[in-house]
Structure 1
Amino acid sequence: MGSYNQWNKQFIAGTWREGRSDSVYEDRNPYSNEVIAKIKMATLEDIDEAYRSAEQSQMAWEEVNAFKKSEVMEKAASIMESRREEIVDLLIRETGSSFVKANVELDFCISITKEAASFPKRMGEEMVPSLVPGKENRVYRRPIGVVGIISPFNFPMYLSIRSVAPALAAGNGVVLKPDEQTAISGGLFIAKIFEEAGLPKGLLNVTVASIDEIGDGFVDHPIPRLISFTGSNKVGKHIGERCGRNMKKAALELGGNNALIVLEDADLEKSVDSAAFGSYFHNGQICMAINRIIVHQSICDKFIDKLSEKVKKITAGNPQNHENMIGPLINKEAVKRILGQIEKAKNEGAQIVLEGKIEGNVMYPYILKSDTNDVSTAKNEVFGPVTTIIPFNTEEEAIQIANDTQYGLSGAIHAGSVEKGVEIAKRIKTGMIHVNDQSVNDEPLIAFGGEKESGLGRIGGKWSLDEFTTFQWISIQNEPRDYPF
């Protein structure tokens, strides 16, 4: 089994070829700055060809036997497992993932693809009673047609595959546009996997393109009936508006400003463990990461001391050293942006409890403390290894602070009484929340998604099947019907 290659090519209409753009993107290792690949970018003409290929191939794919579709998904999952070492190495080099994070991401990819393998056998019909004598009502679950997928850089392979695999399994054609910073793990490697798994040519297309060149062309193209986007809420709202104008569905998984509430009776050690993992896993570059830790005033000082002690022990540096838990941020602009947010929070009254250091694109963990929710690092999604601790006195105050954000993706509560934790969880306006755990959780069978500005729709299990299909009512009048005229 040889290694995959051709990372300088697009995958359009079943063919590996260069994009038509004059611009060439240098895909770089965020730790060493080494050039991994030079990719000639796709144009609007390339995207049009990709969508037309997906549309043409989809019509035949929809008619393929359900068991055959499932076999392709199972084969894809098996290929991912057999190529684990190769994929993990790529995720480390291209995305700055730690060894642990890269393996976790791959496990997520395998799990969601195996779940998607069940979808072709769940594309049936339902018989529904009719008010009209002699009428037979059938409701058929059908593929949407063609799905356009835009994925981000932080968990690039998983955040692509969690839409690609369910969409294909439900009988759709797909055009995927990964973030160019992670074009290989977020797109081109996925195309190789499904090509080897026997997916019909032309059904899955991967276009690596710059928004500066294509503008809204990927979203506005008339062929896709659904755009699945994972990324910032600013871009997501724009995509949602474009989809609305063009009468197509939008599945949007956007940012988060997730809170961990630590109640007075919480187990301090366990809550500190959750806080450290939830805040700093993959350098905090996760939409579900803990951005704010809301701690009861009576235990706040102890909590800060224990968290600081634990966080100082987190190893950071070159992710190719498997002992390092924190690697580089995706680029130097991210480092600059986060330092700016920290400086602004200081000027607004926040106190730096633990000050990290900067080595290239590697940012060591920061801990801030604020008496209010109004400092920059608490109001905004940081998307880096920074967390802000906010003390509270009453449970009502904790709930108010947690809900004081335009986001509503994930969250967590540590409580001595599980039922009290659950009751408070019900009052947090968020799509997902976890009791006596941290906020970074995802599973293939669970409804994943947010409220408020954290997005629209749900991904995972039967919810993915609903997202990537539509319904058609076909009625049959078996007996003559009496009409009034």
Structure 2
Amino acid sequence: MLSGATQEEGAPASSGFKSYDLYIAGKDVAGDGWVYTVSGRALLEDVFTAVTLKRQLEQDPDSDAANHPYVVGRCAIAADSDIDLASQAAAAAASAWAAVPLERRMTLGTRFREELIKNEDKFLEMLVAESHPVKLARWELSCLLQIYSPGSLRWYQKQMWVEKEYGGRRLILHRQPDGVVAFNPPQNAPLPSAALAVLALMAGNAVVVRAPRSIALSTMWLLRDIVGPILDEMGAPPGVLNAVCSNPKQTMDRWVADPAINDIFYIGGSQEGLRFEQQCVANGKKPILELAGNDGIVVWKDADIPYAAQAITESFYGSGQICMVPNYVLVHPDVAEELIAEVKEQVKTVRPGFPEEEDVLLSPVRRSERFFRLLDQALENGAELVTGGHRTEVDGTVSDTGVFLQPTVVRIEGLNGARTFDVVREETFFPLIPVLVAERVEDDDELLETFLQFLNTNDYGLRNSLWSRSDQVIETFVRRLVNGGLLKVNDSHIGFLPYLPSHGGTGRTGGAFGEANYPMLKTSHVQGISIAHDVSPYEAVFGS
């Protein structure tokens, strides 16, 4: 059901309420029950009432509770047969869509960007309803606008088709779509992750997207109200885009077993994702993995300390529950005290609050047991608490029952043995970052080598950052840092830029096939072509 469409009997009359059926083969299809979304503010104001409303409505959709102002929308739930039907619809549409010329398909990216800009307010509203602070929602929108910027689109298109002339032949290297690509967005950022499906569509694939059952509304809005109408406008075959709201294991198991599915774009935790990679390969699927990150920031002795501290505080955005935020800092001992003092000062600007408040950067953290286990282990092993370490209420008051966590910084002396700390070795996914102060050595070249080795031996490899004014140090990192999909130098760690890869990494971040990820290229494959004119096959093999 489209927003603005006539609502069925029993649905709330509020104009802001959104109701979405499953979207399969170009049609709205009834599901097997509903999941409801209550506003992010409601979950902070009165969590008991909000959760009770959600449960009540999911048991009885015709209840008067549907008219409560806390309730902002609902999405239909897919049964097994619906998941299979969506895959079949995509397979039926894939060939016709792949036959559409690349130039025509590329206009989808341009139109998508235009619609995102046109619907900015609704985009922000959707994410705020799902507890994203509005300031971070604007960042998420800016990331998509870079991914679909005119410069990025031109770059993608150039990678999809290259021609050369050689010896009376027309040589072509182009990329063909893989077929049907299934997308599994994560719960922490479903809308911007689902938006990557547009890149797979531009490559010529048909797609199926699973909207996370626990937080489905923004994903269904994006695909049904933004992407779907653009595809209709372009005359795309029904079934080229399909969206279902379903449980992850239920859906993954069916996708892996379904011969209609070619690629599965999996975004989630590393442990589960690496097991899933093995299942995909065993069943002839291409796994495209976006898993955990454990990103490092290096602060050299000549760094711009205030700017470096700004980049470090990005680790607390969204309460650290963003895979591409910094996870640890390596600092030159000459500037360690100055950096730590600056970070401690800047942390004061990162505060909790209701998601619609403009200066809020922290998100609620409902389950925080692991945060305290990581922090306690670090302190017991000799780390020093610099700031933070407590739960807080929405107004920042320290409280044992608060649903926010303070931005927390710990100091660890020396790199030798630093990876015995879980907070250093693993992605924390909390507002918790260790600053590792390197041992003093007489030779900075030796210390630089130590930093590079530390970064290159990280089990993960999403992004890395360097802060230095030295051309020699920068060039050494550019040449020698092999781990990760992206290196940012003297820049925002989490910011997106045109041309550069938007996602992707190595090791436990990207799996056995991990590298920088351009989703349009990852969901396609290279094909080489030679078109000859008046060329003797015999002479081509043996020469004239």
The answer, yes or no, to whether TM exceeds 0.5 is yes
* 8 Å CA contact retained: 1:25, 1:39: yes
The equivalent of 1:338 in structure 2 is: 371
* 8 Å CA contact retained: 2:25, 2:90: yes
Instruction: Trace 1:253-268 onto structure 2 (pairs within 5 A).
Output: 253-268=290-305
For the residue of structure 1 that corresponds to 2:385, the secondary structure is strand
Q: Say what the alpha-carbon RMSD is for the aligned residues.
A: 3.0
Deviation at 1:385, TM superposition (A): 1.1
Corresponding position: 1:99 with 2:134: yes
> Partners in 1 of 2:199 and 2:351 — Cα distance?
36
Instruction: Trace 1:293-442 onto structure 2 (pairs within 5 A).
Output: 293-329=329-365, 332-333=366-367, 335-355=368-388, 356-359=390-393, 360-371=402-413, 372-393=418-439, 394-428=447-481, 429-442=483-496
For the residue of structure 1 that corresponds to 2:465, the secondary structure is strand
CA distance 1:122–1:287, shift in 2 (3 Å): closer
Normalised by the length of structure 1, the TM-score is: 0.87
Corresponding position: 1:226 with 2:263: yes
For the residue of structure 1 that corresponds to 2:357, the secondary structure is coil
Deviation at 1:403, TM superposition (A): 3.7
Aligned length: 471
> Partners in 1 of 2:256 and 2:498 — Cα distance?
27
Matched letter for residue 261 of structure 1: V
Matched letter for residue 42 of structure 2: S
Q: Which runs of 5+ in 1 are unaligned?
A: none
> Partners in 2 of 1:32 and 1:422 — Cα distance?
50
Deviation at 1:391, TM superposition (A): 0.7
CA distance 1:5–1:77, shift in 2 (3 Å): farther
* 8 Å CA contact retained: 2:386, 2:411: yes
The equivalent of 1:160 in structure 2 is: 194
For the residue of structure 1 that corresponds to 2:215, the secondary structure is helix
Matched letter for residue 489 of structure 2: V
Deviations 1:75-131 (A, max 9, x none): 32222211111110111121x22222111211222343455865678754746758x
* 8 Å CA contact retained: 1:258, 1:439: no
Instruction: Trace 1:178-257 onto structure 2 (pairs within 5 A).
Output: 178-199=211-232, 200=236, 201-214=238-251, 216-257=253-294
Deviation at 1:328, TM superposition (A): 2.2
Matched letter for residue 194 of structure 1: V
Corresponding position: 1:60 with 2:96: yes
> Partners in 2 of 1:401 and 1:111 — Cα distance?
31
* 8 Å CA contact retained: 1:142, 1:470: yes
Deviations 1:121-158 (A, max 9, x none): 8754746758xxx9876555322111111111333222
Aligned match of 1:269 in 306, 329, 338? 306
> Partners in 2 of 1:267 and 1:465 — Cα distance?
36
> Partners in 2 of 1:238 and 1:338 — Cα distance?
25
The equivalent of 1:15 in structure 2 is: 27
Deviation at 1:395, TM superposition (A): 2.8
Deviations 1:394-453 (A, max 9, x none): 333333433443111111111231331331354332221222234213234213421222
For the residue of structure 2 that corresponds to 1:222, the secondary structure is coil
Deviations 1:36-65 (A, max 9, x none): 444442233211111111111222222335
Matched letter for residue 289 of structure 1: V
For the residue of structure 2 that corresponds to 1:307, the secondary structure is helix
Query: Based on CA coordinates, which of the two structures has the bigger radius of gyration?
Result: 2
* 8 Å CA contact retained: 1:418, 1:435: no
Aligned match of 1:74 in 64, 89, 110? 110
For the residue of structure 2 that corresponds to 1:294, the secondary structure is strand
For the residue of structure 2 that corresponds to 1:207, the secondary structure is strand
The equivalent of 1:32 in structure 2 is: 42
> Partners in 2 of 1:308 and 1:289 — Cα distance?
18
> Partners in 2 of 1:64 and 1:112 — Cα distance?
22
> Partners in 1 of 2:535 and 2:313 — Cα distance?
68
Corresponding position: 1:449 with 2:485: no
> Partners in 2 of 1:440 and 1:467 — Cα distance?
21
* 8 Å CA contact retained: 2:352, 2:362: yes
For the residue of structure 2 that corresponds to 1:288, the secondary structure is coil
* 8 Å CA contact retained: 1:226, 1:251: yes
Deviation at 1:26, TM superposition (A): 4.2
* 8 Å CA contact retained: 2:169, 2:530: yes
Deviation at 1:468, TM superposition (A): 2.2
Deviation at 1:292, TM superposition (A): 0.7
> Partners in 1 of 2:171 and 2:478 — Cα distance?
41
* 8 Å CA contact retained: 1:27, 1:180: no
